[in-house]
A and B are shown apart, each in its own frame.
Chain A
Amino acid sequence: MRTARALRALPTALTIALAIAGVTLAVRKTFPAHLSDAHARQILIGAAALVVLTIVVSVLRRLAPRAGTIALDRHHDLHDRLTNALAFEAMKPDQRSALMEVAIDDACEHAGKLAPGKAAPLRLPVDLLGSIAVGAGVAAIALLYVPAKVEAPPQLKTIDALTMSPDDVELFRDAAKQFDRQDQSPEMKAAVERFNQLIEDIANKRLDRTEAFRKMEAIERELLKGAEADAKSMEEALKAMAEELKKSELAKPIGESLEKKDLDKAKKDLKALAEQLKDAKKKPDKGALDRLQKALAKAAARQKEALAAINEKRNETREQLLAKKNKKDDPDGGAKKDPEEEKLLKKKERELERLDREAEARERVGRQLERLDRELAKAAEDLMKELGDAAKDLEQAAEDINRLQEEQMSDKEKEELRQRLEELRELLRQQGQGGKQRMVRMMKFGKRARGGSGQQGEKGEQGEQGQDGQDGQDGQDGQDGEGKDGQGKQPGGKGQLVIGPGGKKILIPGGGPGNMPGGEGPGDSPGGQNGQGPDGPGGGAGKGAGTSHDGNLAGKRTDLKGGTVDVQEQGLDTKQGPSNSEIILSAAERGFKGTGYKKVFTKYHTVAEQQINKDQVPDGYRFYVHRYFQLIRPRD
């Protein structure tokens, strides 16, 4: 019966053990890194041990009382005769009733026919089929070949570097060079340096997108720091000074110039006044000088007064604010919070912040104007004492205005640099949206813009040669000698089709330069004569040496004493040079190079700049106009 019990328990234990083995094998084969061979073996041994343990426990564990007789009774349909008999038999004889004795006898009668082997048969349980199926599955897993994963070496972390076409890099490098001046303020110099570094970092692919934008923002923040407020304060300060100066007829022109923010004229006017004071003949009368003295003194004091007024208001507001805050923090008063008061308190706080900013800007401007104020005050003092040093003081003041003017120029540069940064940011933003394709297009465009061969390499080469011919025409039809090089190199045809931007075929008229024989005209005469090309008077002297000599040299000696007369000669417009459209078309094919193209570009660019400055053009469109001219700018 115990063996039968072990057999009954076997399928369950076996199925669990096989399932564990299957999972272990699967994990070992699929993720060898997560389960080592040793661990897998340990788990498999554990699973086998589980089966063995189950069998051992089943065999050794005691059976329930009278399990054997119950099994016999059941198998032989004895209705517990045997079990009951054994139970009665276990009682003391005197405790047994007659019916118990009869029951024992009855059981004994049936005992002869018992077949214990049949009562507790050793049958393999049906559930074992399930275990066998699971075992088959495990065997399949064991036989399954799982290719080992080749571990790729860990990749080094790289940044997704921002790329910019070389053409644009060059553009911004050029822009940075323009800002590079000796007489710049230290902060402007630092900003330009940082801008240069940014461009170099982008060019060398050392920055990712986020970092580039972060750096741009940092530079811009530095540039913008207080600039607007300072400019406004400076404007107000100068205006106040102008008002006072206008009160004196002598200083009126200076006041008007300052009011118009024309520092250059103000400087000149100051110098003129100084000259007037120096000159004894032109010296003004006493009344005018008094008025000048008062005007200069007041103008010098005005800035300080303005600052004092702001500081006074600031202190007053701060005191009010503190009083209100104390009232608010008071536990008794805090219970009743009036929303109106809260609102007022916040308003006061904002006002105080504004006044702080204003005072700060005033102080900065005050520092800038300090010397000018001092000079004006000294001039006023000298005028009052009639020491005669007032003119000198006014000249000194003119120098101060000159310094202010330079500082204003520095502000303009800052604004220009900021605009460059804005352009760079927009450019990078658009490149980010356009992806790699845009970059490829830009690279191609840059190459073509420099006259390099793109896809149509051979035709590009021809274009280059033709361009040289045109350069010759751009001078004075041979008279300047310029054309000789071009014409000598490549005679042009009657016109040729070239592939322009976007793959469009463009007819380049080549009649002029092409038909011109190399040996004719140009260089025949010394290039002393000014010519008139189609675009204006030709100014350049001919490069080549002439083939004949001036008849005068062989004639009379030059009369050195004779008076020379300047003669203005008008060049002859033969209409044989290329027109603007021709230059543009040829530039589209051969690259944006050459003197002719530079002229056309400058002319058009100037017009465009004037127009967008004059008209109300949205910033976004402004960018496109700038960008367009950046892309078609002449390349050296």
Chain B
Amino acid sequence: MAEKSKEAARADVVEFQKSIGELREEVGKMVVGNREVVDGVMTCMLAGSHALLEGVPGLGKTILVRTMAEALELNFSRIQFTPDMMPADIIGTTVIDEAAGGGGHKSFSFRKGPIFANIILADEINRATPKTQSALLEAMQEHRVTVAKQTYTLEEPFFVLATQNPLESEGTYPLPEAQLDRFFFKLHVPFPNREELNEILERTTGNVSPKVKPVIRKERIVEMQKLVRDVPIAKHVQDYAVRLLQATHPTEKDALDVVKRFVKFGGSPRGAQALLLASKIRALFQGRFAASLDDIRAVALPALRHRVLLNFEGEAEGIKTDQVIQDILKHLPETVK
């Protein structure tokens, strides 16, 4: 029995790695470069959580999400957030329906909003008012929405991918900490390098446009999400993740000076969960059967950068949370007695 399970488990991991390879390949048809962002988005999806993308306009954020939706054979909705947007514009609303054939019979029916899809692209989420932003909270955390005392469960897999434009701050509503914490990763979309830019131009300025075919079905995604949670994690790796999270807190006894001086709040327990899940996914991406310390270190930045909040002095000094986390990683011992 054990022998059979071992083989199955090994096969599952191999199959996982193969599926991810195919997905990467399909996405790569449309998205040039940005391997880390693509992997990050896939990680969020496999962890059953959501991602926040930050980058200037025109870097292919929408294309990435659309392509993934196509390759995964999932429903895709794009919501462009604006300041006058209302929660009903996202969730849906109840309308009066007149019965067919007349007779004057009227009834209320719920018309689903764009959130009822597998992949949601919440474009420029920080443009909407906090009221509208909070409409996403229940959906993101519970994968369901409640309208007029009626709860509607969202179809799995459900994955929100929000974008933020860091250049414009006029007329924006920064996401509250509670909502930020609900994002599994915060990914920075970098500007493409010269080679990537040339490739983008070649692909987008000709008559031939690549076609994306679905490579992974919905059910397979759910299976993959299950496998992720099966990946074992050794005690010392988990302890390392815990110590890493603790090290982000300025109130901790052994906190670094940079943390004590510039950090207002450290990461929440969701941060530790994100570290472990993401490290498991990374191990699977690489065909390994258990997460390692390297995996934790690799995912620490996207998992913690939006969860570590700087104080006024840190903001004034122009300190980036990435610097703080890197300092912590540099000084944190791998094992302790």
Contacts and interface: CB of A to CB of B under 8 A. Distances in A.
Interface stretch (A59-67, A298-306, A345-353): A59-67
Contacts of A66: 236, 335
B335 A64 contact: yes
Contact of A79 (B232, B294, B335): B294
B289 A83 contact: no
Contacts of A33: none
Interface stretch (A96-104, A116-124, A451-459): A96-104
Given A80-B237, A98-B2, A103 B294 contact: no
Given A98-B6, A101-B6, A65 B337 contact: yes
A370 B174 CA distance: 114
Nearest to A94: B2
A87 B232 CA distance: 11
Given A66-B236, A102-B13, A79 B337 contact: no
A261 B217 CA distance: 145
Given A84-B234, A88-B234, A99 B290 contact: yes
Nearest to A90: B235
A99 B236 contact: no
A131 B319 CA distance: 37
A87 B6 contact: no
Contacts of B5: 98, 101
Contacts of B234: 80, 83-84, 87-88
B286 interface: yes
Nearest to A71: B334
Contacts of A79: 283, 286, 288, 292, 294-295
Contact-residue size bin, chain A (C-beta under 8 Å from the other chain) = 20 to 34
Interface in A53-74: 62, 64-67, 70, 73
Contacts of A106: 288-289
A99 B336 contact: no
- Count chain B CB atoms within 10 A of each CB in A88, A100, A106 and give the residue with the most: A100
Nearest to B287: A106
A561 to B, nearest CB: 140
A106 B231 CA distance: 14
Contacts of A73: 292
B60 to A, nearest CB: 31
Question: Which of B235, B289, B294, B295 has the most C-beta atoms of chain A within 10 angstroms of its own C-beta?
Answer: B289
Contacts of A84: 232, 234, 237, 290-292
Contact of B13 (A81, A87, A99): A99
Interface string B229-241: 0111011110000
B2 A101 contact: yes
B333 interface: yes
Contact of A80 (B2, B9, B290, B336): B290
18 contacts: A64-B336, A65-B335, A65-B337, A66-B335, A67-B335, A70-B293, A79-B288, A88-B232, A97-B9, A97-B230, A99-B230, A99-B232, A100-B232, A100-B289, A101-B9, A102-B6, A102-B289, A106-B288
Given A79-B292, A80-B237, A80-B294, 8 more contacts: A79-B288, A79-B294, A79-B295, A83-B236, A83-B292, A84-B237, A84-B290, A101-B5
